[in-house]
């Protein structure tokens, strides 16, 4: 029985949309988890919620919720268009302006030749040199349970990271940077940003997870205590 090409394209489009939603949701909970685990905001500003079979904590602060919601809404659109290559959460000291921690999530669109993008996007955004790269082959089909297990492992690592990351002294704030293709439509209120790299920082590679369409690698870099 022949399968109509149009039908196959529609199935792929639905799969890509579902995968993009999964990755965007992962980013949303990652931002919240980092803010909670690293004490950027008081523990009482977070509300427990069940997700990925885990007890997650999300911010109940209206300003923080609105900021994250705006990012994730735009991010999901770019993900579906295959325009995202990286999301970064940077924790900065309010007193000194120094970048203390940098959580980096690299996104690969599987099974398609892509550009390793220049960027332009996010409440802050970053620039990378465009380079032609070959994306990895598509992952074998995974069940929702298998994907959830991989995501669980990452969140457990983020939670366990408090055992090796330096204690954050003083008041801190955070920014989210998104690397997207140079031709992406960027909200007018979003601006360019440098990469906010941590000078001479330590780097720790964490776990990754993948769907049939995307792979996400996680890494944290931090400034060594004086």
What is the pLDDT, as a whole number, of residue 123? 43
Q: Phi/psi at 81 (nearest 5 deg)?
A: -80, 0
What is the pLDDT, as a whole number, of residue 19? 87
What's the CA gap between 220 and 217, in Å, rounded?
Answer: 11
Both tokens assigned to 105: 């999530």
The residue extents of the domains of the chain are 5-222
> Chain-centre distance of CA 113, in angstroms?
21
Q: Which helix (H) or strand (E) holds 176?
A: strand 172-180
- How would you classify the pairing of strands 172-180 and 124-125? parallel
Helix pair 5-37, 62-80: axis angle to 10 deg: 150
pLDDT in tens, 134-149: 445 555 677 888 999 9
The pLDDT tens digits along the chain (226 residues) read: 444 444 444 444 557 788 889 999 999 999 999 999 999 999 999 999 999 999 999 999 999 999 999 889 888 888 888 888 889 999 999 998 889 999 999 998 886 544 433 333 444 444 333 333 444 555 567 788 899 999 999 999 999 998 899 988 889 999 898 887 766 666 555 556 666 788 888 999 999 999 888 899 999 999 876 6
Q: Would you say 214 and 23 are in contact if contact means Cβ atoms under 8 Å apart?
A: yes
pLDDT in tens, 19-61: 889 999 999 999 999 999 999 999 999 999 999 999 999 999 9
Q: Which helix (H) or strand (E) holds 206?
A: strand 202-210
Q: Is 177 helix (H, G, I), strand (E, B) or coil?
A: strand
Q: Assign domain 5-222 one CATH number from 3.40.50.970, 1.10.3720.10, 3.30.900.10, 3.40.50.150.
A: 3.30.900.10
């Amino acid at each position: 029985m022949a399968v109509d090409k149009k039908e196959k394209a529609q199935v792929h489009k639905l799969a890509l949309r579902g995968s993009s939603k999964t990755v965007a949701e992962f980013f949303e909970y990652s931002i919240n988890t980092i803010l909670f685990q690293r004490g950027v905001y008081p523990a009482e500003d977070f509300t427990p919620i069940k997700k990925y079979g885990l007890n997650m904590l999300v911010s109940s602060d209206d300003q923080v919720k609105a900021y994250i919601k705006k990012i994730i809404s735009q991010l999901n659109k770019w993900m579906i268009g295959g325009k995202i290559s990286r999301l970064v959460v940077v924790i900065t000291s309010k007193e000194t302006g120094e970048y203390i921690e940098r959580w980096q999530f690299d996104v690969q669109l599987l099974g398609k030749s892509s550009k390793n993008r220049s960027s332009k996007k996010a409440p802050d955004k970053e620039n990378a040199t465009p380079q032609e790269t070959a994306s990895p082959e598509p992952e074998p089909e995974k069940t929702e349970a298998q994907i959830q297990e991989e995501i669980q492992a990452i969140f457990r690592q983020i939670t366990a990271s408090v055992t090796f990351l330096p204690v954050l002294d003083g008041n801190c704030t955070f920014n989210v940077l998104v690397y997207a293709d140079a031709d992406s439509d960027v909200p007018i209120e979003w601006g360019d940003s440098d990469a906010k790299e941590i000078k001479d920082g330590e780097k720790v590679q964490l776990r990754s997870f993948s769907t049939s369409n995307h792979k996400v690698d996680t890494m944290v870099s931090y400034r060594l205590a004086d």
